[in-house]
């Protein structure tokens, strides 16, 4: 089962969402977009925001947990696994393990941070550029 989770998480890295997030970060850096601007790419609306340290600019998207779960259901089917027929507790555990693996893979391979919140939503964030803080005075 863990092998399936690892394979599904790696396959998820090819989803249009993560490709678009990467391109949005490149476009934000190239255009030097400012905080608060939005960027529509690949059918997704990305927000340009300040990073947690206030030193850089990130591209952010907040999606419902259901969006990601639907992606997972499709991936599981590709590997011959029907999550719909699992016991609820087993399905919840599988999804939790998948999200943990996806978070690690996104951070490692695409430098994308994934966070739970606000509420049940999932937030995905990628650094666009670091600001030159020496110009602030």
Residue 136 maps to a domain: no
Confidence at 136, pLDDT banded by 50, 70, 90? low
Give pLDDT tens digits for 50-108: 998 888 999 999 999 889 888 888 888 887 877 777 888 888 898 889 999 999 999 99
Edge to edge, what strands does the sheet with 44-50 contain? 38-41, 44-50, 56-63, 122-130, 112-116
Please give the residue range of the domain that contains residue 26.
Answer: 2-130
pLDDT at position 1: 60
How many residues in total does the chain contain?
Answer: 137
DSSP string of 76-122, one letter each residue: HHHTT--GGGS-HHHHHHHHHHHHHHHHHHHHHHH-EEEEE-STT-E
List of residues 6+ apart from 41 with CB closer than 8 A: 20, 23, 24, 27
Residue 137 maps to a domain: no
Confidence at 137, pLDDT banded by 50, 70, 90? very low
Number of domains in the chain: 1
Give pLDDT tens digits for 98-130: 999 999 999 999 999 999 877 889 999 999 998
Give pLDDT tens digits for 94-103: 888 999 999 9
Integer distance in angstroms from the first to the last C-alpha of the chain?
55
pLDDT at position 69: 85
As to burial, measured by CB atoms within 10 angstroms (0-12 exposed, 13-18 middle, 19+ buried), residue 21 is: buried
List of residues 6+ apart from 14 with CB closer than 8 A: none
Residue 70 maps to a domain: yes
Alpha-carbon distance 90 to 61, whole Å? 29
pLDDT at position 63: 93
116, β-bridge pairs: 122
Query: Are 113 and 61 in contact, with CB atoms under 8 Å apart?
Result: no
Confidence at 47, pLDDT banded by 50, 70, 90? very high
């Amino acid at each position: 089962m863990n092998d399936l989770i690892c394979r599904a998480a790696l396959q998820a890295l090819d989803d249009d969402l993560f490709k678009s997030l990467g391109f949005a970060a490149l476009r934000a850096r190239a255009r030097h977009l400012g905080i608060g601007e939005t960027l529509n790419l690949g059918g997704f609306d990305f927000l340009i925001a300040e990073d947690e340290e206030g030193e850089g600019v990130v591209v952010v998207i907040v999606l419902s947990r259901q969006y990601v779960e639907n992606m997972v259901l499709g991936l599981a089917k590709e590997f011959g696994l029907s999550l719909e027929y699992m016991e609820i507790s087993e399905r919840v555990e599988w999804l939790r393990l998948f999200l943990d693996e996806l978070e690690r893979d996104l951070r490692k391979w695409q430098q994308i941070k994934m966070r739970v919140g606000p509420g049940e939503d999932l937030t995905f964030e990628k650094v666009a550029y670091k600001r030159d803080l020496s110009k602030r005075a």
